[in-house]
Amino acid sequence: MSDQPPHRPLQPGDMVLLVDAKHRRYLVTLEAGGEFHSHAGLIPHDELIGRDAGREVRSTRKSKYLVLRPTLSDFILKMPRGAQVVYPKDIGPILMLADLQPGVRVLESGVGSGALSMGMLRAGADIVGYELREDFAVRAQRNVRGFLGEAVMDRYRVQVRDCYEGIEETGLDRIVLDLPEPWLVVPHAVEALVPSGILVAYTPQITQAAQLRDALERHGFAQAETLEIMQRGWHIEGQAVRPNHRMVGHTGFLTHARLLRP
- Please tell me the predicted confidence (pLDDT) of residue 2: 47
- Please tell me the predicted confidence (pLDDT) of residue 248: 82
Strand, helix or coil for residue 25: strand
pLDDT in tens, 56-74: 999 999 999 999 999 999 9
CATH-assigned architecture of domain 15-70? Roll (3.10)
- Please tell me the predicted confidence (pLDDT) of residue 145: 94
Distance CA 35, CA 221 (A): 55
The fold of the 74-259 domain, in CATH, is Rossmann fold (3.40.50)
Q: Which of 25, 40, 30, 36 is nearest to 4 (CA)?
A: 30
Which residue ranges make up each domain of the chain? 15-70, 74-259
Compute the residue count for the chain.
262
pLDDT in tens, 5-45: 667 899 999 999 999 999 999 999 999 999 999 988 999 99
Q: What share of the chain is helix, strand, coil (3-state, %, to 5)?
A: 30, 35, 40
pLDDT in tens, 183-240: 999 999 999 999 999 999 999 999 999 999 999 999 999 999 999 999 999 999 999 9
Distance CA 125, CA 210 (A): 28
pLDDT over 70 percentage in the chain:
98
| 73-99: burial string, b at 16+ Cβ within 10 Å, e else | ebbbbebebebebbbbebbeebbebbe
